[in-house]
Amino acid sequence: MTKQVKQLDRVIIRFAGDSGDGMQLTGDRFTQESASFGNDLSTLPNFPAEIRAPQGTMHGVSSFQVHFADHDILTPGDAPDVLVAMNPAALRANLGDLRRGATIIVDSHDFTARNLTKAGYEHNPLETDELDGFDVVPVDLTGMTVGAVKEFGLSRKDASRAKNMFSLGLLSWMYGRPTEATLDFLERRFATVPAIRDANVTAFRAGWNYGETTEAFVVQYEVKPAPMPAGSYRNITGNLALSYGLIAGSAQSGLPLFLGSYPITPASDILHELSRHKAFGVTTFQAEDEIAGVGAALGAAFGGALGVTTTSGPGIALKAETIGLGVMMELPLLVVDVQRGGPSTGLPTKTEQADLLQAMFGRNGESPLPIVAPRSPADCFDAAIEAVRIAVTYRTPVMLLSDGYLANGSEPWSIPDVEDLPVIDPGFATEPNHVGKNGTPDFWPYLRDEETLARPWAVPGTAGLEHRIGGLEKGDGHGNISYDPTNHDLMVRTRAAKVARIAESLPPTEVDDPRDESGRGARVLALGWGSTYGPIGAAVRAVRLAGGRVAQAHLRHLSPFPADLGDVLRRYDRVLVPEMNLGQLSLLLRAEYLVDVIGYNHVRGLPLRAFELAEALTDLIATTEEADR
Amino acid sequence: MSTTTGADLPFPALGDSAGLAGMPATDVAQNRKDFTSDQEVRWCPGCGDYAVLAAVQGFLPDLGLRRENIVFVSGIGCSSRFPYYLDTYGMHSIHGRAPAIATGLATTRSDLSVWVVTGDGDALSIGGNHLIHALRRNVNMTILLFNNRIYGLTKGQYSPTSEPGKVTKSTPMGSVDTPFNPVSLALGAEATFVARTVDSDRKHLTSVLSAAAAHRGTALVEIFQNCPIFNDGAFEAVTSNDTKTDAIIPLQHGEPITFGPRDAESGLGPRGVVRDPSGRVRVVDVADVGVQEILVHDAHAEDPTTAFALSRLTDAGHLRRAPIGIFRQVERATYDDQARDQIATAQGESGAGPEAKRQSLAGLLHSGDTWTVV
């Protein structure tokens, strides 16, 4: 039959099912298809901490949301336009997030009395008025999949497992996605199990063909490619981009990369990824615990490697003492915190930004260190290189604050030219830098560079520069143990001054504040950091589209702040600081600049909702501008 | 080798120097002064640490390594001040973590001779986890465990090796903790080299350290070390000339394990160690069982069972008797060698030059599904 083709500028689809239903894979493949088609996109995987919760229950629901568009977009979207629900629990868990009028495709086969009960439904919602207002399409995904793959002689269970590929085929048809890459992927993935491979390929094709022939779907949609600057692109998650950034940082500094790490959600993928790249001289050490992970990284740094440790919030708590040792010994060390919901074990698979103050202050004594935060999945690449630059140049531990959303979310990445990456000079000490009492040259490990205040990095194996460092207070210059009160005061201030001086190497804060026709700028500034960049940007666009005036700035450096930040804050009547915590950046800004910033805070384990934030901005703009009248 | 006094411990045979392979040697003659830093040593008068420091400073030149390729890493505690007094590279780190730090260093730098200096509290209490994992991984490093059976730097609390019932500031009615036997613990943790020596016996200490340095993999040396302030005399049985002949059970590979005043002719002591049918070992009068029944020490035995049984001859309570020497000395692939081999294999022949590296980096960034916008 001939189908109607409808143009859309953007679509948000959420695939939802049991943890074992392969929803992450389905979403990921749909994303790759959309990326290669040329849409801009943003994704949000959302899965339970349990690996396989009891089948069919709300606890076991795993979902993958993909937002794709014919224009530049910033978030995975607030409310899905399409929900694919593989069972009643997946429907019930996600229904509340859908926009009114959204399309719901359900696997009607799984809406059995038993599954409905497990999901907490007393009546089958497909037979009541509960879903009125939605466009509900019940499809026997399981039945049709099993029928399509009959010839391969799989058990019914194995056959029905290909239903995710049936649904992917159906959705791929519906949005006109290119399919070659997915077919190639299935060939590769199941190369060793031909029956499974053939079943998945067949189910995928059957899903596509079903869309084309059934009368259940009369419309096919088209979302045109988004205009993007010329270049090579790939879709990339934050954890992958961060891993590549570390490898690039190693290559650009000439320092061999050593990762000491203990598996923890949502950071483990960085360990997995780096373990695959030994060809780049990368050593990955899966330590006995978090403390050993950072300890080994610090030991490697003493030996002249690029020492890195990766973890999430609970791991940072354990590593704190060793990071403090790194602050005292003034060695380069990269500490990656992929933040998750806390406190304690908290929400291991969900996102949050509540480790900022832990990164800032979570050590004994005056223990300042630089903090860098990426703002989007692809930006994790640049942020990692920047963190390496600071660590190596200033001989200091650096905290790189990613989060669960950045880690697993993805977006198209304009692949940089390797020639354009910054070069980082480790500048190892090779010569004595001091003349001893008897006139012989000697080496003082704490004589500082006048510009950066960094101390020399002399690695074992360098003759004549033998020295001892450690956690006890150092005498200024010579670095021997010193309990002298004046010296301690000086050293505490010097370590703080060294970190503060990093600000001199930072670019001025970029403020997006378009003037209107009369040349007026905004009165309200939205200031964020980390992964809230997308939702804040989307909210700011919505406000402007509705005629509101609002400025946006986003911090990459949380410690030290850019030198001009105080001036920027004071240029605006009101500053709204949206964060996925209870106001940690707000607290720092208030303390540092005595500016009465206003917090906008949610800790739901999910990215901020752009439309809610837009409302808050609109209200704030209204009250600010009203005050003039 | 054996003397009629029986007081001198036998020297362990020095194996090949696999432990030092890959480390640059020096042909310049070195002496103790080259390894002595300009820092004033600040242990209490009479501390056993002085003797160990002197032995190490005296023995390091004999390794023939370049000074700049030697690194001492310590934790926290009295003994952990050690690195400050040696003019090598050194790190006085944090409590219990030295083995972890040394693991990162040794894994990335095959050209360094890495030493860990630790104490009974540092290694067995706060750092117990790192110690056992270093031992099982068999990272190429030498761990000197100064065991004084007390917390010195915090002024006299009981330690994980203190005898049950120990009365200290934190245990006024006596400790109710069961102590670790560091040798048993190390053997249980799959250690490939485990030895015990005594601070006051410079010659034996030096010989054990030499063997430990020559070992490729993690070598653990427990050093009985006297704390004259908080636990004076804890090891008196094995250090006093009046008692040590009967208190020390000397272990030497390939020799029957006997002790007590030695017979000038046979070189054997009147007491010896035999194996029970149960698998444990016990002390007997040699005359009662005959020399042929006495257990011959095999430090190279693949199975650590007998070494463990021997370690159990150490008193858990007040020390009256202890085996001293090398319990176990076996070869096993090291973690760091294997980790470096994997990298070398992955790197293959190519990829060394900067241009090749840039190209492989560009290749990595462009891997996966890419598309081009023109």
pLDDT tens for residues A182-191?
999 999 999 9
In A, minimum Cα distance to B42 occurs at A481
Sorting pLDDT into bands at 50, 70 and 90, what band is B5? very low
| Whether the predicted pLDDT of B1 surpasses 50 | no
C-alpha A256/C-alpha A468 separation (Å) is 23
Question: Of A65, A63, A23, A22, which is closest to residue A41 (Cα–Cα)?
Answer: A65
A560 cis-preceded (ω within 30 degrees of 0):
yes
Q: Calculate how close chain A gets to B92, using CA atoms only, in Å.
A: 4
State the helix-helix crossing angle for A141-148 and A194-213, rounded to 10 degrees: 120
Q: Give how far B296 is from chain A: nearest CA, Å.
A: 37
Q: Closest-CA residue in chain B for A259?
A: B104
Q: Which residue of A has its CA nearest to B369?
A: A234
Q: How far apart are CA A212 and CA A263, in angstroms?
A: 45
Instruction: Enumerate residues 6+ apart whose C-beta is below 8 A from A430.
Output: A458, A462, A465
Rounded Cα distance between B315 and B326, Å, is 18
CB-CB neighbors (< 8 A) of B104 in chain A: 258, 260, 285, 295-301, 303, 305, 307
Contact B142, B107 (CB under 8 A): no
Helix axes B335-347, B98-108, angle to 10 degrees: 30
Helix pair angle (B48-63, B202-214), 10° resolution: 50
* Residue of A39, A244, A258, A302 for testing the chain B interface, max B β-carbons within 10 Å: A302
Q: Which pLDDT tens digit goes with each residue over B144-194?
A: 999 999 999 999 999 999 999 999 999 999 999 999 999 999 999 999 999
- DSSP letter for A423, please: P
- Sorted by sequence, the CB contacts under 8 Å of residue B12 that are 6+ apart come out as B195, B207, B208, B211, B252, B253, B299, B325, B326, B329
| CA-based nearest residue to A208, from A162, A172, A164, A161 | A172
Estimate to the nearest angstrom the gap between the alpha carbon of A110 and the chain centroid.
34
Determine contact: B324 vs chain A, CB below 8 A: no
Question: Who wins on pLDDT, B351 or A556?
Answer: A556
Long-range pairs for A427-435 at CB < 8 Å and ≥24 separation?
Answer: A427/A457, A428/A304, A428/A457, A428/A458, A428/A459, A428/A462, A429/A456, A429/A457, A429/A458, A429/A462, A429/A465, A430/A458, A430/A462, A430/A465, A431/A464, A431/A465, A432/A464, A432/A465, A434/A477, A434/A478
How many of the other CB atoms lie within 10 Å of CB of A4? 8
Contact B69 A38 (CB under 8 A): no
Q: What average pLDDT does the segment A572-589 reach?
A: 98
**pLDDT band at residue B16, thresholds of 50, 70 and 90?**
low
Q: What residues of B are in contact with residue A296 (Cβ under 8 Å)?
A: 100-101, 103-104, 107
> B103 to chain A: which residues are within 8 Å by CB?
285, 292, 295-296, 299
Answer whether A429's CB lies under 8 Å from A465's CB: yes
Nearest to A303 among B108, B130, B357 (CB): B108
Measured CA to CA, the distance from residue A339 to residue A349 in angstroms comes to 10
CA triplet B39, B142, A319: central angle to 5 degrees? 80
Residues 215-244 in B contacting A (C-alpha not used; CB under 8 Å):
none
3-state secondary structure of A240: helix
Tell me the pLDDT of chain A averaged across its residues: 96
Listed residue (A422, A370, A389, A393) closest to A557, CA to CA: A370
Asked if pLDDT for residue A626 goes beyond 90, the answer is no
B336 neighbors B106 (Cβ within 8 angstroms): yes
Min Cα distance A553 → chain B (Å) is 29
CA distances from A27 to A66, A75, A123, A203, A223 (A): 7, 16, 29, 16, 17
The DSSP-derived string for B4-21 is TT--SPPPPPP---GGGT
Provide the 10 A C-beta neighbour count for residue B176.
Answer: 10
Q: In a mutagenesis test of the A interface, which of B76, B131, B345, B365 is the best target, namely the one with the most A β-carbons within 10 Å?
A: B365
Closest by Cα among A209, A169, A201, A208 to A183: A201
| Contact between chains at B369 and A235 (C-beta distance less than 8 A) | yes
pLDDT digits (tens, 9 = 90+) for A64-97: 999 999 999 999 999 999 999 999 999 999 999 9
Where are the alpha helices (H) located in A214-289, listed in sequence order? 238-253, 268-275
Indicate the angle between helix axes B98-108 and B128-137, nearest 10 degrees.
Answer: 30
Q: Among all chains, which residue has been given the structure tokens 């076991």? A: A60
Q: Which residue in chain A is spatially nearest to B74 when comparing CA positions?
A: A470
Q: Cβ of B365 and A304 within 8 Å?
A: no
**Alpha-carbon span B338 to B58, nearest angstrom:** 33
A298 contacts in B (CB within 8 Å)? Answer: 101, 104
How far apart CA A336 and CA A316 sit, in angstroms, is 9
Distances (CA, A) of A325 to A60, A374, B89: 42, 25, 17
Residue A236, Cβ density class (10 Å: 0-12 exposed, 13-18 middle, ≥19 buried): buried
pTM of the model: 0.95
A612-A406-A161 Cα angle (round to 5): 100
Inter-chain CB proximity B129 and A292 less than 8 Å:
yes
Average pLDDT over residues A343-358: 97
Q: Is A256 helix (H, G, I), strand (E, B) or coil?
A: coil
Q: What is the pLDDT of residues A273-317, one digit of tens each?
A: 999 999 999 999 999 999 999 999 999 999 999 999 999 999 999
Chain A residues touching B105 at Cβ < 8 A: 299-300, 302-303, 460
End-to-end CA distance of chain A: 62
Nearest to A313 by CA among A351, A368, A369, A275: A351
Tell me the DSSP string of A460-502.
TT-TT---EEESSPBPTBT--B---HHHHHHHHHHHHHHHHHG
Specify the pLDDT at position A1: 56
Q: Which two tokens stand for residue A338?
A: 């992929």
Q: How far is CA B45 from CA A75, B51, B84, in A?
A: 68, 11, 18
| ipTM score for this prediction | 0.95
- Find all residues with CB under 8 Å of A446, minimum gap 6, and list them: A330, A455, A474, A475, A476, A477, A478, A479
Q: Can you spell out the DSSP letters for A587-613?
A: HHHHHHH----EEEE--SSSPPPHHHH
Token pair listed for A69: 């568009």
Q: What is the per-residue pLDDT across B38-76, written as a single tens digit (0 to 9) for each?
A: 999 999 999 999 999 999 999 999 999 999 999 999 999
The residues in B 89-148 lying below 8 A from A, measured between CB atoms, are: 89-94, 97, 100-109, 111-112, 129-130, 133
| Confidence grade of residue B3 (pLDDT, cut at 50, 70, 90) | very low
What is the model's pLDDT at position B11? 60
* CA atoms within a 13 Å half-sphere pointing along the CA-CB vector of A173: 21
Cβ–Cβ gap B100/A299 under 8 Å? yes
| Chain B residues 58-87 within an 8 A CB cutoff of chain A | 66-71, 73-74, 76, 83-84, 86-87
- A229-236 average pLDDT score: 95
From the list A73, A72, A151, A163, the residue with the least C-alpha distance to A109 is A163
Nearest-CA distance B5 → chain A (Å): 43
User: Chain B closest CA to A10's CA: distance in Å?
Assistant: 19
The sign one gets for the Cα dihedral A99, A101, A105, A106 is: positive
| Structural tokens at position A445 | 């490990």
Query: A with B: how many residue pairs have Cβ under 8 Å apart?
Result: 205
| Tens of pLDDT, residues A482-502 | 999 999 999 999 999 999 999
Q: Kindly report the nearest CA distance between residue A34 and chain B, in angstroms.
A: 11
β-strand partners of B248: B322
Q: Considering chain A, what percentage of its residues have pLDDT values greater than 90?
A: 94
Distance separating the N- and C-terminal Cα atoms of chain B: 84
Long-range contacts of A44-49 (CB under 8 A, 24+ apart): A44/A76, A44/A77, A44/A405, A44/A408, A44/A409, A44/A606, A44/A607, A45/A408, A45/A409, A46/A349, A46/A350, A46/A606, A47/A19, A47/A349, A48/A19, A48/A349, A49/A265, A49/A347, A49/A348, A49/A349
pLDDT at B249: 98
CB-based contact B100 A296, cutoff 8 Å: yes
- Chain CA centroid to CA B82, Å: 15
Name which of A231, A461, A480 is nearest B373 (Cβ-Cβ): A231
Q: Which of A543, A514, A565 is nearest to A613 (CA)?
A: A543
Q: What is the dihedral of CA A503, A508, A510, A511, to 10 degrees?
A: 110
Chain B residues close to A334, C-beta within 8 Å: none
d(C-alpha B130, C-alpha B134), whole Å: 6
pLDDT given for residue B7 in this prediction: 44
Contacts of A278 (CB under 8 A, 6+ apart): A284, B342, B343, B345, B346, B347
Nearest CA-CA partner of A273 in A251, A244, A293 = A244
Q: Which residues contact B134 (CB under 8 A, 6 or more apart)?
A: B99, B100, B102, B103, B116, B141, B143, B218
Query: How large is the average pLDDT for residues B23-29?
Result: 91
Query: In this complex, is the C-beta atom of B352 within 8 Å of any C-beta atom belonging to chain A?
Result: no
In this prediction, residue A255 has a pLDDT band, given cuts at 50, 70 and 90, of very high
